[in-house]
Structure 1
């Protein structure tokens, strides 16, 4: 790094953006320490769709081929109504360049991100929950909840997720609210009964949304997996779980009988997890010597499935700017570079959510007309597909 000081960097959080940024910065010659509250490598959450924008960062990290080998190639977003009439049908191939999505089991990505950190020489402090971070004359001092202290950091990267504990403590202002709607989810074996190669969704009004995402396989697994998502109002979760599991299954089978094989793998409510969505918006993502990335800085509804991909793009953008500019200027440039794509995807996600997860059933006929008409207009269709692929505002490497 000719001309620029090598930095001592503290990264808080080992989700997606944190380990990706840690690896890229360590490879650029910085001394990086990552702090994670969990005592071991552990990823939770349903399967997710890696987009071409996120794949670009995995190529930069050198782990794309390993991750791809475990993933399921997704060519299409296919949404139908309760009568299985096409509602939305978008293909990645329409954008050219052999683009596609990659359905993944979340622990797969974390496994290879951690391998990349190890290879890059990042120090990881497992079981180290950062309770305080204070800016001192000699740099940032971080203190764990148990009283451990490390100091002298030139840069603090906050990547501790949508429920960040540091964001407010450091004085960052903005929106931080939960959505009233979420989803029940389960990952099981596909068994060839559900569509492969596509993210398949069924809708009935605005209160019923069912999704099936091919999720590849586990690190040491051989069976193709699929993730089920079933929309729920979070205030109803306890009531739903107090009822027999078969009642819950019947409500899904009424909409999609093909889900029978997948649902037959569920014997207990403990296998069905609840996903809660949040909306985090900030006016700026940096201050002197500190930057907030990933869901900690811009969590949003998963309607567009961009969370992981935006976090990976954050990490790449931050590393690139730190390689090109001195620290404070690099952080200014980072916020500038990320402002447009983050604003777009946050707005699009928030505006799209009520059309698919809300009590506003009156939107149903308007939604049907809008999406069926819009996708027939070539410029609009291309923009919708580009949005799906995470390429709006994306800077190619």
Structure 2
């Protein structure tokens, strides 16, 4: 089959779907390949930050998103020594249309974006189709090789191939792009526990000596992230379910009565946390963005926000060149330059958090952030706006280009 498109996007996550939708609205022929049959992957990031909520408004999707079941979180806090929670970031003080983080299952967001994309005649989403390699001609990437769930192999040629396929990106690997790896002291183990009717949503982490956990509220259950020393997965599974329950009871005693509902270690999903950054995000004919360009730590939950902003910048900078068929290395380098600084700054902050907060906690040397930080925040509450700004908006928020903006679509709101 001699298939062809203008922009081939590998990966139907937030970055891939946003990029596909925006480019299609610019009139660019776009094909998004997603290896799974649907978006129902549990234990993905569920945070939709204020800047992304503003973007959805600009795209005319804000009211449809608001109709999805979700929780709103306006503060990031940690448990204090006197039983009161200490607010580290107060998003309600942000001067933005949506001063909160919306907690919604990522599959609902992706379904919403897919629906909007299908309304565009130049947007094509193919599920059950995995990118397995790149095509090249005269040293330039000219498309991809793919394989369907039925085992059918094929090729699609494209003016530009964009890797939005995550930290284990095939596009990144096949393009020969090598990341700089940063040491990470933790891995994450995800599982769920029931949430009682009317129970107040919370995103307050549990911190005890040697243990760290975050509780993420969903409509009918809590999604739990347990953070512990990197490389511990085999030991945790060898220790067994009862020992794992004891770890969780130690850090989240308020949920200890529900741990019987965790019936197997098979229900505990291990995430190998990575923190890396490509030295160069592109080769001739191919570009990586989002986690494919910079895998992020889960600290702060900002990885999705950065990936979405990468996608918006990419669409704004490359829609014109794609329409004219003139996308060279110079145009791709503009995306890298635009998004490099906010990425580097966030990763520096995450590395600082690993060193000063996370590592001392999981090594049992401290419970929570350094006391100096807590004292300063207590003395100067307005400083909470700084982490709120970094978490909620970012250093360089991207707005929808004019060609992608639409009035609110109230049809399904």
TM, length-normalised to structure 1: 0.85
Q: Displacement of 1:213 after TM fit? A: 1.7
| In 2, Cα distance between equivalents of 1:32 and 1:156 | 10
Q: Distance in 2 between matches of 1:107 and 1:176?
A: 29
Flag the 1:61–1:287 CA change in 2: closer, same or farther, 3 A: farther
Specify which of 367, 371, 387 is matched with residue 370 of structure 2.
367
Question: Structure 2: which 5+ runs fail to align?
Answer: 401-413
Measured in 2, the distance between the counterparts of 1:124 and 1:256 equals 41
Q: Say whether 1:227 aligns with 2:215.
A: no
Do structure 1's residue 183 and structure 2's residue 182 form an aligned pair? no
| CA distance in 2 between partners of 1:164 and 1:13 (Å) | 9
Give the number of aligned pairs.
383
**Would the alpha carbon gap of residues 174 and 235 (structure 1) be closer, same or farther in structure 2, given more than 3 Å must change?**
closer
Q: What is the match of residue 132 of structure 1?
A: 133
Question: Which range moved further: 242-251 or 346-355?
Answer: 242-251
Cα separation, partners in 2 of 1:248 and 1:293, compared to 1, 3 Å: same
Give structure 1 stretches of 5+ with no counterpart: 1-6, 218-222
SS of corresponding position for 1:160 = coil
Distance 2:338 2:134 in 1: 26
Q: Does 1:21 pair with 2:19?
A: yes
Check the 8 A contact 1:46/1:185 in 2, yes or no: no
Whole-angstrom distance in 1 between the partners of 2:327 and 2:300: 32
| Deviation per residue, 1:101-151 (Å, 9 max, x gap) | 111222222222222232224223333322221332697131135673434
Report the counterpart of residue 352 of structure 1 in structure 2. 353
Q: Which residue of 2 aligns with 1:251?
A: 247
1:227–1:355 distance in 2 versus 1, CA, 3 Å: farther
Q: Decide whether aligned partners of structure 1 residues 237 and 245 sit closer, same or farther in structure 2, where only a CA change above 3 A counts.
A: same
Contact 2:193-2:258 within 8 A present in 1 as well:
yes
Residue number in structure 2 paired with 1:119: 119
Q: CA RMSD in A?
A: 2.9
Does the aligned pair in 2 maintain the 1:10–1:33 contact within 8 Å? yes
1:220 corresponding residue in structure 2: none
CA contact (8 A) 1:17 1:293 kept: yes
| Aligned mates of 1:381, 1:66 — CA distance in 2 | 31
Deviation at 1:338, TM superposition (A): 0.8
Of 192, 198, 205, 1:201 maps to: 205
In the TM superposition, what is the alpha-carbon distance from 1:384 to its structure 2 partner? 1.5
Who is 1:3 aligned against?
none
CA drift of 1:260 comes to 3.3
* 1: CA distance, partners of 2:332 / 2:158: 15
Alpha-carbon distance in 1 for matches of 2:19, 2:105: 21
In structure 2, the CA distance between the partners of 1:372 and 1:179, relative to structure 1 (3 Å rule), is same
Q: Deviations over 1:219-275 (max 9, x none)?
A: xxxx4x322121122433223223342332233223333213543432222222222
Query: Aligned equivalents of 1:262 and 1:194: distance in 2?
Result: 14
CA distance in 1, matches of 2:266, 2:82: 31
Which digits, 9 at most, give the CA deviation of each residue in 1:142-174, with x for residues without a partner?
113567343431111111100112213212232
Q: Which residue of 2 aligns with 1:108?
A: 108
Q: Separation in 2 of the partners of 1:176 and 1:312?
A: 22
Aligned mates of 2:120, 2:193 — CA distance in 1: 34
Asked whether the equivalents of residues 46 and 227 of structure 1 are also in contact (C-alpha less than 8 Å), the reply is: no
Aligned-partner Cα distance in 2 for 1:244–1:125: 40
Q: CA deviation at 1:364?
A: 5.7
Distance 1:82 1:73 in 2: 26
Give me the whole-angstrom Cα distance separating, in 2, the residues matched to 1:367 and 1:185.
Answer: 26
Which residue number corresponds to residue 178 of structure 2? Answer: 173
Compute the displacement of 1:42 (Å): 3.7
Counterpart for residue 275 of structure 2: 279
Question: Are the counterparts in 2 of residues 355 and 363 from structure 1 also a CA contact under 8 Å?
Answer: no
2:43 is aligned to: 45
